[in-house]
Amino acid sequence: MITKPDFNYGLNLSAHMLNENGGEELQLQCCVGSEEEWKLFSDNNFNQNSSKINYHNKHFLKNKIYDKETRIQGKVVVITGGNSGIGKETAVNLAKRGGKIYIGCRDNIKGEKALKEIKKRSGNKNVFLLNLDLASVESIREFSNKFHEAESKLHILINNAGVMGCPKSKTKDGFETHFGTNYLGHFLLTNLLLDIMKQSIPSRIIFVSATAHKFGILNKEDLMSDNSYSRFKAYCQSKLAINLFAYELSKRIVGTRITVNIADPGIVVTDIWRHYVKPDWLKSILQSILRKFLNTPKEGSQTSLRLAVDKNLERISGKYYKSCKEIEPSVDSRNEELSCWLWKRSAELIESLKVVLITGANTGIGRETAIDLARRGGKVYIACRDMEKSEQALEVIRKESQSSETFLLNLDLASIESIRKFSKNFHEIESKLHILINNAGVMACPKSYTKDGFEMQIGVNHLGHFLLTQLLLDRLKASAPSRIVVVSSSGHKLSDINKLDLMSDKAYNKIKAYGQSKLANILFTRYLAMKLEGSGVTVNSCHPGIVQTDLGRHMESWLRPIYRKILFPYYKSIKEGAQTQIRLAVDPDLEHVTGKYFVDCHEVEPSKAALNDETAAWLWKKSTEMIYVKYKQLEKMHLIKY
């Protein structure tokens, strides 16, 4: 018979079972924590018309053993959560078969201990440990970077790590812990490793799911369980999400000779139950009972092993296996609409964690860009000179975007000292920078100079951003794939680079000086793109169009109305003017496009002068020299002390 649990503990379920011969009664303690969960569990697991659950003394809920001695000599394997339970047993077995094994673990101390055991039991020294916290996007990206540095191939990826029955909590990036660790972490990791797996074909991806996926419901309206939390439902949802991802991925990479399959290990006595069963004495009793008739970690690893090495499965993909045999998962696991939606939403959630820096974002297209990228979930920093105006702009950005992840930092691009201080402050705050938009600028100024003696327009529009970008390159490289967007103008066609009088000391024309600074933007973009080739950092420039902002505030007052009247038919709104740089910042289709110039969201050819590689090289060298000299002067005058 099945007895309703006592919920005083809130964590243990009693189900009395008779063996098929009517023999000794056994008691199973399981992970159900509320009356609601008991109903869901019992309705789905037990036939209420039957008074007993049949089992075989030796094989009740036990997995079949995969006994083929297939070798994987020379193959590179990654196993997440390989320091304990099923993951560790999988690592031992695959190491015995000759594989080069990497275990990804959060706890390095436990990982080192497991590493020694795996090497000793397998007799294989080709086993390595890499730190990996699936509850941290930063850690996942670092793992990927280190693995790419260490290996050029990956033949088998086993997404094994997971948590179960956690109290309500969030990952480091704000995702519900089950969903973030079990699913989203593996979603990102798998996508980051796909390139290297495509170079290693035939290759295999195995996701470790659970029968609990059958109880899972993907809650589109409350994916992170913010409104209502049940640890049982959250776990089940994460396992359903794994199935949907595996199914969708298998469709997207069909024909690549990378296979994707799901392993259900059955009910296994491992440390994954640690959050569910309290107190510890009850957990010890429960484990001793369960070991008699449920799977050991070794038995639980058998299905993953078969999917990883069996030659008969080399072309099998998109399937669900349990006890080493293919079975049908839940209907929802194959829901095409749901799998497509989940993929898109997951990509959005990962993208939303990107750190963005926009210069001059307190007005005009800069502010509009900040609003848009904050709406998309980015962590947006606006860098501005006038803090009073910028505080007001920050309020507008937060209100319009409905995002609190927007911040203000002081930056004066007309001052080397300010730029250096800004960089130092940013490095102390952030370890990553995914998108840098060099948007700030001045136009048609009366003849004037920056604090360091540079002509104002070339100093602010070009040299200020030249230095800022150089100082932030380490953060951009650490965040690859990352992007630099340089806002130029069609005004670049109005001038050339005056090598003999770059600072317009001999003759000053405010329009030509502006045109020269915008031409310098494009030359800088193209030369930097060449220098960053292969780094994962792209650099592109754009013309926002003729936008009515306060950029033309330095024009003579009598000329402004005439200028506006002539150009009115060509004017864009501020929102329209921001679209090209927004596309360059976020469009997935442009991830590998670099060194190009865009107008109206399309790539176009800039002027011939902008394509002159000799001038670009000269400008780079000259800019470096000027900034170096000025910086050294400031250092000697003790105006810069760091």
Catalytic residues: 514
Q: Does a cis peptide bond (omega within 30 degrees of 0) precede residue 279?
A: yes
State the first-to-last Cα distance of the chain, in angstroms, to the nearest integer.
75
Backbone phi, then psi, for 200, in 5-degree steps?
-120, 20
Q: Which residue in 117, 142, 113, 116 sits closest to 130, CA to CA?
A: 142
Contact call for residues 111 and 105 (beta carbons, < 8 A): yes
Q: Which residue has the tokens 């919920």?
A: 7
Strand partners, 159: 207
> Which of 342, 312, 360 has the alpha carbon at shortest distance from 551?
360
Exposure pattern of 139-150 as b/e (b: 16+ CB <10 Å)?
bbbbbbeebeee
* Cα-based torsion angle of the residue sequence 49, 51, 57, 62 in order, rounded to the nearest 10 degrees: 40
> Cα separation of 179 and 190, whole Å?
15
CB half-sphere exposure, 457, CA atoms < 13 A: 30
Helix (H) or strand (E) segment spanning residue 584: helix 574-586
Q: Where are the alpha helices (DSSP H) in 295-415?
A: 297-300, 302-309, 336-351, 364-375, 387-401
Q: What is the DSSP string of 448-474?
A: -B-TTS-BHHIIIIIIIHHHHHHHHHH
Both structure tokens of 217: 């419901």
Helices 364-375 and 387-401, axial angle in degrees (round to 10): 40
Q: What is the helix (H) or strand (E) element at residue 603, kind and residue range?
A: strand 602-604
Q: Which residues contact 22 (CB under 8 A, 6 or more apart)?
A: none
The sheet carrying 602-604 orders its strands as: 406-410, 379-384, 355-359, 435-438, 482-487, 537-543, 597-599, 602-604
Cα 370-371-376 angle, rounded to 5 deg: 95
584 torsion bin: left (phi>0), alpha (psi -120 to 50), beta (else):
alpha
What backbone phi and psi angles, to 5 degrees, belong to 286? -60, -45
d(CA 467, CA 458): 12
